[in-house]
DNA sequence: CCCCTTCCTTGCTCCAGAACAACGACGCCA
DNA sequence: TGGCGTCGTTGTTCTGGAGCAAGGAAGGGG
């Protein structure tokens, strides 16, 4: 969302509550249940009836689908402020369209269906914000999809690393720290950790990045722009 | 949506207007502008400011994005009853997230932003329906995406042909007619017309399908189910 | 300080399916 | 009925990057 700013960002108003007065927003948050989950725990499973809406307060969540063979395909990487389980807002029953699991320890706001639907009646802005959010998810997935069919593994990896740097990177004078393993990066870019390792090596040799275990430092972001 | 039924379907209430009384629904349709477009005409372009909402009355529309090299990547195939340009419903300005072009001659209902927003105030059901529709698009794209990374060209082609048969096929005693060229089928399944031709040949030899120019007849749908 | 887990690297093999070329065939329109 | 444009077929070539195996390095925890 915001471009390369300072290291730690404050907690801005989540998109779900955009355009709602601060007082009302607090009220909405107050009636939510708060949960804390450890790393690696299931939050919801694709296909289940959507009965709860989630807003991620802290931590990282993996949103994915299972293939027919049981492999996980990443659909999105959720960060604080992101909402999921939006089917809950609908009157008729819908199913969650993917599964969600915590990657790190997480804090979540949770609303039961009945409650959030009542809130949506009071605050129509909630519905409008939801449309915007789902459209953004759709656009993001479309971008990933187009990238997958039209760009090389190297281009996808570079794109992924750059966008990760923008979203979650920590800016220093010597570059941008990105905390991510080769495997995670590879998955986001739809490639294998092997290919990721090889490409990172070539970029390291060019001085574009440097690596530690579980961390990549981008020194020359402009070298990663591949048209 | 509906399963293998009879040949020509009537014009059911579009999803956008689901749950709205027939009278109100007619009123909403009446205040739309109606347009008729020839085959191959642009309806909207990705990146433009979303100012009009479209509902497809008749015909087929191609919704796609351009790659960096200028190639088109199909995002969806819109049929009568489908809505697009949903960003128009939002208060803040948004951009269309892909381009739309008619494939065949089309009739469309069109609402200008101001008008549809006023309608959405009067009928909150419109907003709820929109959320459902975008979620369905998201789910559909997720399915295509997962298929692309986890299934073979043959499996994707079989899936595509089956779903096309279900959505647009004409049922006869001897099988299901699907009007589609190899090229279109290949594109929907993310493969080339060459690969499509080869696979169709092998299915023809197995007696599963037969072919004419621009048409495929599915004789044994069950043979196309590939787990 | 050492062990053990997790992560990273590197070389090698292999293949699905894209890309290209060239030809064949259907069917519309005059 | 013949010509032409679109669509379909088939053989061949070629390569990106997956898959696998094996070993190396960094940390964290006891």
pLDDT for B29 beyond 80:
yes
User: Helix, strand, or coil here: B49?
Assistant: strand
Average pLDDT, chain B: 92
Tokens representing B223?
A: 């043979």
Alpha carbons B82 and B77: distance in angstroms, whole number: 9
Residues of B 70-109 whose CB lies less than 7 Å from any atom of strand D: none
Give dist(CA B160, CA B216) in Å, integer.
12
Residue B104 has what pLDDT? Answer: 87
The values of phi and psi at residue B201, to 5°, are -60, -45
**Is residue B93's pLDDT more than 80?**
yes
Q: Which one, of B226, B113, B103, B223, lies nearest residue B168 by Cα? A: B103
B139: nearest Cα among A66, A113, A138: A138
pLDDT string in tens for chain A (227-residue length): 333 333 444 567 899 999 999 999 999 999 999 999 988 899 999 999 999 999 999 988 999 999 998 889 999 999 899 999 999 999 999 999 999 999 888 999 999 999 999 999 999 999 999 999 999 999 999 999 999 999 999 999 999 999 999 988 999 999 999 999 999 999 999 999 999 999 999 999 999 999 999 999 999 999 999 98
CA distance A93 to A90: 7
A97 and chain B in contact, CB less than 8 A: yes
pLDDT at B227: 84
Q: In angstroms, how far is C13 C1' from A194 CA?
A: 15
Q: Which of residues 58-77 of A touch B (CB under 8 A)?
A: 65, 67-69, 71, 73, 75
Query: Please, which contacts does B5-14 make with residues 24 or more away whose CB atoms are closer than 8 Å?
Result: B5/B171, B6/B171, B7/B170, B7/B171, B8/B170, B11/B80, B11/B81, B12/B81, B14/B55, B14/B81, B14/B82, B14/B83
Q: In which band, very low, low, confident or very high, does the pLDDT at B10 lie, cut at 50, 70 and 90?
A: low
Q: Which of B139, B155, B227 to mutate to test the interface with A (most CBs of A within 10 A)?
A: B139
Question: For position A3, what pLDDT does the model report?
Answer: 38
| The two structure tokens encoding residue A212 | 């530690």
Nearest to A154 by CA among A197, A121, A120: A197
Digit-coded pLDDT (tens) for A38-87? 888 999 999 999 999 999 999 889 999 999 988 899 999 998 999 999 99
- Min Cα distance B83 → chain A (Å) is 13
Rounded CA–C1' distance between B183 and C15, in angstroms: 24
**Sequence-separated (6 or more) residues with CB below 8 Å from residue A65:** A46, A72, A73, A75, A97, A98, A99, B142, B146
Q: Alpha-carbon Rg of chain B, whole angstroms?
A: 19
A106-112 and A52-58 strand pairing: antiparallel
What CA–CA distance (Å, rounded) separates A133 from A76? 13
Facing residue for B138 by CB, picked from A67, A73, A137: A137
Neighbours of B164 (CB within 10 A): 21
pLDDT at A206: 95
Instruction: Estimate in Å the CA A116 to C1' D26 gap, whole number.
Output: 47
Please give the span between the terminal C-alpha atoms of chain A, in angstroms, as a whole number. 21
Instruction: Choose among A75, A131, A137: nearest Cβ to B89.
Output: A131
Q: Integer distance in angstroms from CA A76 to C1' D10? A: 41
Contacts of B139 in chain A (CB under 8 A): 97
Instruction: Using a CB–CB cutoff of 8 Å, tell me whether B93 touches chain A.
Output: no
Taking CB atoms and an 8 Å cutoff, what residues of chain B touch A63? Answer: none
In terms of Cα–Cα distance, which of B37, B134, B2 is closest to A127? B134
Count of CA atoms in the C-beta half-sphere (13 A) of B139: 17
Across the interface, do A146 and B67 touch by the CB < 8 Å criterion? yes
The answer to whether the beta carbon of residue A33 comes closer than 7 angstroms to any atom of strand D is: no
The pLDDT score that the predictor gives to residue B14 is 94
What would the mean pLDDT of B16-20 be, rounded to a whole number?
95
Instruction: Specify the pTM.
Output: 0.92
CA distance B94 to chain A (A): 9
Residue A10 pLDDT: 52
In the block, tokens 């709860």 appear at A52
**Partners of residue B121 in chain A, C-beta under 8 Å:** 124
Q: What is the dihedral of CA B130, B135, B138, B142, to 10 degrees?
A: -160
pLDDT attached to residue B6: 37
- Contact state of B146 with A94 under an 8 Å Cβ cutoff: no
pLDDT tens by residue, B119-128: 999 999 999 9
Rounded to whole angstroms, the Cα distance separating A131 from A125 reads 10
Q: Decide if A225 touches B, using CB distance below 8 A.
A: no
Rg (CA), chain A: 19
A146 touches chain B (CB under 8 A): yes
Is the pLDDT reported for residue B5 higher than 50? no
């Amino acid at each position: 969302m915001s471009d390369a700013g300072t290291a730690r960002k404050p907690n801005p108003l989540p998109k779900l509550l955009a355009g709602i007065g601060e007082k009302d927003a607090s009220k909405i948050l107050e009636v939510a249940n708060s949960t804390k989950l450890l790393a690696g725990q299931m939050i919801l499973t694709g296909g289940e009836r959507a009965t709860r809406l989630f807003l991620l307060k802290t931590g990282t969540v993996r949103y994915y689908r299972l293939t027919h063979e049981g492999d996980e395909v990443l659909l999105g990487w959720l960060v604080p402020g992101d909402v999921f389980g939006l089917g809950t807002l609908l009157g008729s029953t819908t199913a969650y369209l993917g599964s969600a699991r915590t990657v790190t320890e997480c804090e979540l706001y949770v609303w039961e269906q009945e409650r959030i639907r009542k809130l949506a009646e009071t605050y129509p802005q909630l519905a409008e914000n939801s449309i915007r959010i789902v459209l953004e998810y759709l656009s993001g997935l479309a971008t990933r999809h187009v990238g997958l069919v039209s760009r090389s593994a190297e281009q996808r990896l570079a794109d992924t690393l750059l966008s990760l740097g923008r979203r979650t990177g920590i800016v220093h004078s010597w570059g941008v720290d990105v905390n991510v393993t080769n495997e995670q990066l590879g998955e986001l870019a739809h490639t294998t950790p092997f290919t990721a390792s090889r490409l990172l090596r070539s970029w390291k040799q060019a001085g574009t990045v440097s690596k530690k275990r579980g961390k990549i430092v981008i020194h020359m972001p402009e070298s990663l722009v591949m048209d």
